[in-house]
Chain A
Amino acid sequence: MNRMSENKYKGFEADRSKYPEMKDGKPVIDLESHKYTKIWQGPQHPGVTGNMALELIIDGDEVVDTKTRVGYLHRAFEKLMERRRYIQCFPIVCRICVPEPDTNEYCVSAAMEDLSGIVVPEKAQWLRTLNLEMSRVGSFLMWLGGQAGSIGMGAIGQWTVGMRDFWLDLFEEMTGGRVYHMYMIPGGVRKDLPDGFKDRARDLIIRTRKLLVNIENTFFNNIIVKSRLKGLGIITPEMVDEYGIVGPNARASGRECDIRINNPYVKYGELDIKMITSNGCDAYARAELRYQELLQSLDLVSQILDKIPEKGEIQAKLPNVLHWKIPAGQTYVKAESTRGEHGFYMVSDGSEFPRRVFARGASYTHAISLLEKLAVNISISDTAALMVSLHTCPPEIER
């Protein structure tokens, strides 16, 4: 099992002598030869992250070729938005990512504000920062359970998803919704914090940290986890640009690419935040990096809670949203989600409806180009772990 742990890049430069020959970058596979088996992992499979399918060609239990198939939850959000007024877009976009909807909300609101020149009030900016960072915590918790689950440690999945529910309780109090928060409306946010929210949030941070100690003991200091994840899915630093890799996946390969630090948005510029990188390049390094970022996010949440001003406006004045016209122009707004660069490219033609909205999700490259590359040569039992270690999220691929 720990076949690749000694040589970091061995998996990438593997011996392909027994595998199908390559022609124009594509393996020539003759299924009639009965040498290979074609199986589908997903779209309904506990080992895939959402409704996505891997079309695997296997030789024994080793994957020789793979293709990512999406299209199972294509709702054409981008096209739907072209038929909606600007204000009507904001309830749609949160559905582009279930575990972390707020990044979408932020990006689409910020893009509209950027195009129409609306300045968001101070307090609303802070509330947005809090919301974004809390959603990162929630998403990381869910991912952590997924990563553990993908290699058979179901218990951790129970713990983290259970803990995530307490974070959802906080979201419920703050925004009125547990999963789809629909909190960041263009111009600001919809509600101020309820009474006693900060105390409950601080309390929850302590509880989460306590759980994370447990997880560190059982998951990261675990011989089985190490042997399965180390050496799996190696992303070399050169691949980062080649494949457009972003977020923790790129940071675990040594690339300093945190948007919160490089291009600070909302109030990240006023927070004490450090770039976390690692040179491990493999799935274990990515897991550890995400774990560090989760701890960092908890720290940021408490920093934000200390800094939110008590008083202040929470929304800038909008024109009547039923006839809101945005001046013609184009913009690209991005934010750091737990998966990396998440951005919205919005083009306005001066009418009441957007001309084009494009949601750029980090998984677009991670789950297709990169996954198809990395999955070759690994054991079929590792595909789920690999997929989760790239933190793929199908809805942001097909949008």
Chain B
Amino acid sequence: MEQILNRIKDKIEIKISTKKRDDLYFFTVEKEQIEFILSYLKEQENFTHLAFMQAVDYLEDGKFQLTYMLYNYKIHINLGVNVLIDRKKAEMFSMHKLWPHIWQYQREIHELFGINFPGSPRVNESFVLEGWEEIPPMRRDFDTLEYSEKTFYQRPGRSTNDPKEYMKEKMYKNYADTPTIRREK
């Protein structure tokens, strides 16, 4: 595996490369290099099996991280290729020419993360969310709790108590509040 990594490093610049386990490696490449690196890995280095492709939302950094998880049946090693793309311009090249079945991951990510894959077959078809009107739900800024409270009816009659507050109420209700410090204005 080290040899393969060295060979790749000869070809392109790899930003971050980590060995997670003996059979699991990750590295990060630039968006523009992804087409080249994936076809190189598939054709030349026998990473023929695409286990999955997924996205992670880094809301704070304004990035999406896409992960292509490849597997090599010869040396039995998983390799995750990460790409960071801009959250505002969420668009990625479609890889359906390399692996025909990737279209469904791309369709799912398009629906759940709102990342577009121009040219990917059936990318605009709905996957699990028919008639969805909110923002793509797997994005970090989608608040599931708020959505469920808005959408669903809660059976009434439930209330809970915080032991801390409850014990204060019962045992030392009149205990004075902390005095405010009188600072110079």
Direct contact of A and B (CB under 8 A): yes
Q: Interface residues, chain B, CB within 8 Å of chain A?
A: 18, 20-21, 23-24, 26, 48-52, 54, 56-58, 65, 67, 69, 73, 76, 78, 80, 82, 99-101, 103-104, 121, 126-130, 137-138, 140, 142, 144-145
Q: Known pairs A76-B144, A345-B67; list 4 more (Cβ under 8 Å).
A: A71-B130, A257-B49, A331-B21, A331-B24
Chain A residue nearest to B69 in the complex (CB) = A332
Which residues on the A side are within 8 Å of B128 (C-beta)? Answer: 70-71, 74, 398
Q: Which residue of A79, A243, A262, A330 is within 8 Å of B138 (Cβ)?
A: A79
Which residues on the A side are within 8 Å of B50 (C-beta)? Answer: 244
The distance in angstroms between the C-alpha atoms of A398 and B138, with both chains bound, is 13
Q: Interface residues, chain A, CB within 8 Å of chain B?
A: 24-25, 70-71, 74, 76, 78-80, 82-83, 114, 241-244, 246, 255-257, 262-263, 329-332, 334, 341, 343, 345, 347, 355-356, 358, 360, 364-365, 368-370, 398
Q: Which residue of A24, A343, A345, A365 is within 8 Å of B101 (Cβ)?
A: A365
- Given contacts A71-B128, A83-B145, A332-B69, are A365 and B104 in contact (CB under 8 A)? yes
A334 and B51 contact, CB distance less than 8 A: yes
A341 and B51 contact, CB distance less than 8 A: yes
A244 and B69 contact, CB distance less than 8 A: no
Chain B residue nearest to A331 in the complex (CB) = B20
- Given contacts A83-B145, A331-B24, are A242 and B101 in contact (CB under 8 A)? yes
Which residues on the A side are within 8 Å of B137 (C-beta)? Answer: 76, 79
Shortest C-beta distance, B57 to chain A (Å), equals 7
- A contacts with B: majority SS: mixed
List the 9 closest pairs (A to B, CB-CB), nearest first: A71-B128, A369-B101, A74-B128, A241-B48, A356-B56, A360-B52, A262-B76, A358-B54, A365-B101
A and B contact pairs by CB, cutoff 8 A, 20 listed: A71-B126, A71-B130, A76-B137, A76-B144, A78-B138, A79-B144, A114-B20, A241-B99, A242-B100, A244-B101, A246-B49, A330-B67, A332-B51, A332-B69, A343-B52, A345-B54, A358-B52, A360-B69, A370-B101, A398-B128
B52 and A345 contact, CB distance less than 8 A: yes
- Given contacts A70-B128, A78-B138, A332-B78, are A256 and B73 in contact (CB under 8 A)? yes
Which residues on the A side are within 8 Å of B58 (C-beta)? Answer: 355
B101 and A243 contact, CB distance less than 8 A: yes
Shortest C-beta distance, B155 to chain A (Å), equals 19
Chain B residue nearest to A343 in the complex (CB) = B51
A356 and B129 contact, CB distance less than 8 A: no
Which residues on the A side are within 8 Å of B48 (C-beta)? Answer: 241
Chain A residue nearest to B139 in the complex (CB) = A79
- Given contacts A242-B100, A244-B50, A330-B26, are A255 and B73 in contact (CB under 8 A)? yes
The distance in angstroms between the C-alpha atoms of A369 and B104, with both chains bound, is 8
Chain B residue nearest to A74 in the complex (CB) = B128
Which residues on the B side are within 8 Å of A398 (C-beta)? Answer: 127-128
Chain B residue nearest to A259 in the complex (CB) = B76
A345 and B100 contact, CB distance less than 8 A: no
The distance in angstroms between the C-alpha atoms of A369 and B48, with both chains bound, is 17
A244 and B56 contact, CB distance less than 8 A: no
B127 and A263 contact, CB distance less than 8 A: no
The distance in angstroms between the C-alpha atoms of A369 and B100, with both chains bound, is 8
The distance in angstroms between the C-alpha atoms of A346 and B103, with both chains bound, is 22
Shortest C-beta distance, A285 to chain B (Å), equals 20
- Given contacts A241-B48, A341-B51, A347-B56, are A71 and B144 in contact (CB under 8 A)? no
Chain B residue nearest to A71 in the complex (CB) = B128
The interface centre, meaning the residue of A243, A244, A345, A358 with most chain B CB atoms within 10 A of its CB, is A244
The distance in angstroms between the C-alpha atoms of A341 and B145, with both chains bound, is 32
Chain B residue nearest to A359 in the complex (CB) = B52
The distance in angstroms between the C-alpha atoms of A29 and B128, with both chains bound, is 24
- Given contacts A114-B21, A241-B49, are A364 and B104 in contact (CB under 8 A)? yes
Shortest C-beta distance, B78 to chain A (Å), equals 6
Which residues on the A side are within 8 Å of B82 (C-beta)? Answer: 330
The distance in angstroms between the C-alpha atoms of A255 and B140, with both chains bound, is 39
Q: Which residue of B20, B130, B140 is within 8 Å of A329 (Cβ)?
A: B20
Q: Which residue of A71, A330, A334, A365 is within 8 Å of B127 (Cβ)?
A: A71
